[in-house]
Amino acid sequence: MNDIFINTFKWIKDDWYSNRFRFCVELIAWGISIGCSITMALTVPTPPLLTLYPIWILGCGLYAWAAFTRKSFGMLANYLLLTTIDSIGLIRMLTG
């Protein structure tokens, strides 16, 4: 069991040293994702979507950039699609 933690810490450390800027961007995007999810859970049934949508879209955009720099097609496609879907949702909310 201890090996799992040691290997995970080594993997995180290697990721940090491979590209510190991307590591920080992904950490910010992760914080945005968790923060939006917690906010949604705490404010149901009337979450502050006008506030959360742009923040969530920003986080997805950060993740998309990180996926691009990692040359990860699946993650890039996922976050570009999420960014597009949620941007359309935000536009509909603002104009509807």
| pLDDT of 93 higher than 90 | yes
| pLDDT band at residue 2 under the 50/70/90 scheme | confident
State residue 96's pLDDT score: 84
Mean pLDDT of all residues in 23-45: 97
Average the pLDDT over each of 4-8, 20-24, 61-65, 78-82 and give the range with the smallest value. Answer: 4-8
Long-range interactions of 20-29: CB distance < 8 A, separation 24+? 22/66, 22/69, 22/70, 25/62, 25/65, 25/66, 26/62, 26/63, 26/66, 28/59, 28/62, 29/59, 29/60, 29/62, 29/63, 29/66
Q: What is the pLDDT of residue 66?
A: 97
**Residue 89 pLDDT > 80:** yes
Tell me what pLDDT residue 52 has.
95
